[in-house]
Amino acid sequence: MGVPVSQAPKFAKYPLSQAPVYSRWWTSFAVLSAAVLISGKLVFSDFYELRIIVIVALGVLCLWLLAFLVRVLCFRLDQHNAYCYGVNTQQLEQAWWSRHRQTVALVESVLLGAVCRSAEQKHALFSPDLTKPTPEQTDDGWAIRVPQVFGKDVAEREAQLAALLALQWQQQRSDLPVEQPLRCYWQGTPAAWNSFAEQVKKLWPTAQFPERPDVWQGIDSLDAIVDQLHEEPAEAWILCAGCQSSPIQRESRLPAGEAAVLWVLGKQEGVRIARGEWLNADVESLAAVAERALRQSELEASGPPCVSFSQPDLPDVSAIGWNLRQHLQDANFGALGNLESMVVLTLAAWYAEGNSKACAWLANDPQHTLAIGVVKPDDSTN
């Protein structure tokens, strides 16, 4: 497995050659000069004219001087190359971090679940007095369900969830029209998307959504969205949505959960969502990924509050050093499969909005072992 793309570029130190030891060079010059002088007087004076001896002596000293100058020049050129190498690598690192720290704005968000069925309830989710939903017992196991959804099987429930998501979005937008999105991403089945798109069409007849949206691929999709929005005009926006009604499984660690999520992502006016980081367990540690996520958002190493689901398959998750239990969502939503990351990111955004401080999120990911990121308050209001 190769090095993850999310890792910052690392450059080896330039192999600078050793500096000339000038004391040795001056000592060698003194010794050479003395040897030339003594041999010229005592050995060669009886055989050669003084003029020839002087010329030979000067020639030997010039050769020494040439060797000395070449040695110094090579070292100075090496120093110059090292300086240029350092400047270029620093520029590459700064460019990487500049791009890596780009964010998008969460302009609008909708989250439907057993504990949140309206915009007014979103900040109560972080209250210690929040009443946890009571799982329903069935013949096949336990489930946490949205009360407004009455379908009997998973497909029917997801279709109803998707339609309900569009209705809740319309209630939050009031009379605002829905313009053409740049792209649409969907986490869920094509049938659920059709139910959502049909309901949107009823509510906003002029809205034009694609028949087949892009499949939500977790943090990879988020990374692509940040890239795309930064190349578009200020008014451009991207729709991301999804719904999940998990099948009930008797042996499941958590009750089967269900939820629906919608985001309107833009460039301005909203809490700032960073690209996030991902963990490939065979390559690096979770602690290293968490440190990079903080550095990406220019935060201190102590770590912000973190919204998450438990990760029993990662025994070293506690090594991250963050408080992952304060806002644990297992009891609020149950098992949500690949929708998990969208739910915790939405909750982190709501926390950042309500408390005016950064909030992290941690969840599973369709493409990677784990995804982790940070949401910061809207900086356009500062």
Q: Are residues 176 and 289 in the same domain?
A: yes
The one-digit pLDDT tens for each residue of the chain (382 residues) are: 333 446 667 777 777 777 777 677 667 766 666 666 666 555 444 555 556 656 666 766 777 678 778 877 888 888 888 888 888 888 888 888 888 889 999 999 999 998 887 767 777 778 777 788 889 888 888 999 988 888 889 999 999 999 999 999 998 887 777 888 999 999 999 999 999 999 999 999 888 899 999 999 999 999 999 999 998 888 899 999 999 999 988 888 899 999 999 999 998 888 999 999 988 877 788 888 888 888 888 887 667 888 999 887 776 676 777 778 888 898 899 999 999 999 999 999 999 998 899 999 999 998 888 899 999 998 755 4
Measure the CA–CA gap between 244 and 229, rounded to whole angstroms.
27
pLDDT at 352: 92
End residue of a domain, out of 99, 132, 157: 99
pTM of this structure: 0.82
pLDDT at position 10 is 77
Residues 87 and 108 in one domain: no
Residue 122 lies in a domain: yes
User: Is the domain of 199 the same as that of 211?
Assistant: yes
Same domain, 86 and 105: no
Asked whether residue 44 falls in the same domain as residue 172, the answer is no
First to last CA, the chain: 43
The structural domain count of the chain equals: 2
CATH code of the domain covering residue 303: 3.40.47.10
**Residues 216 and 364 reside in one and the same domain:** yes
- 8 A C-beta contact, residue 344 and residue 310: no
Instruction: Please indicate, yes or no, whether residues 132 and 105 belong to a single structural domain of this protein.
Output: yes
What tokens does 236 get?
Answer: 């451009």
* Same domain, yes or no: 181 and 269: yes
Last residue of a domain, one of 54, 74, 99: 99
Widest distance between CA atoms in the chain: 121
Question: At residue 82, what are phi and psi to the nearest 5 degrees?
Answer: -65, -40
142 DSSP β-pair partners: 137
What separation in angstroms does the CA of 256 have from each of 12, 142, 158, 192, 337? Answer: 49, 6, 13, 18, 9
As a whole number of angstroms, the distance between CA 15 and CA 22 comes to: 21
Domain boundary among 64, 99, 134: 99
pLDDT at residue 262, as a whole number: 96
Question: Quick one: how far is CA 97 from the chain centroid?
Answer: 10
What was the pLDDT predicted at 382?
45
φ/ψ of 203, rounded to 5, equals -80, -35
What are residue 241's DSSP bridge partners? 186, 262
| DSSP H helical ranges for the chain | 22-42, 50-100, 154-173, 190-203, 219-229, 286-296, 330-333, 340-355
User: Could you tell me if residue 16 is inside a domain?
Assistant: no
- State which residues form the domain around 41: 22-99
